[in-house]
Structure 1
Amino acid sequence: MEEQKTQRLNFQKLYRKYKAIFEFSGDPIVISEIKSVGPHGRTIIEVNEAAIKHFGYSRSELLLHDTAFCTLTKRLILFYLGWDRN
């Protein structure tokens, strides 16, 4: 029971750390699902404020696009959910 509590607290600490990096990064970050590959790329599920400013669209507008929308010529960090975490 104590081990589960410690693991949960460690997870929450890491979650807050990476959430802060995501939210306050000056670089555009787009998070997509690796499993939902459409004809034009992967489904975008979240973007940070820098990505909103970089692309000039609202968060809701960016979430309607897939990763093909994000050109590789622009400075961009892509994170894929569903990678092997082992």
Structure 2
Amino acid sequence: MVIYNNPEVATSIKQTTSTITNSTYQLVTSRKRKSKQIGNKENIIEEFQTLMKEQTIAIIEAIDRQHVNAIEIQQKHHEEQIDIFKQFLLKL
């Protein structure tokens, strides 16, 4: 404990301890910050992927509805043509 009685040594030890503590703190906070940034990027990517999946599903459903509507219209036209043809045959 004689070392601490010398003001120069005590100051040097405090500065070294302070530097190590500060460096360690900066390293830890830097790692946490990077981890948060990576986590944020991963969250953004996941949100984007989810949004793309939802939009893809919505587009597929819209295309399916349009396809069903087109088939129904075609079927209606076909039935109308058959009716016209039947009427034509009945007149002969």
Structure number with higher relative contact order (C-alpha < 8 Å, ≥ 6 residues apart): 1
TM-score of the superposed pair, with normalisation by structure 2: 0.29
Over alpha carbons, which structure has the higher Rg?
2
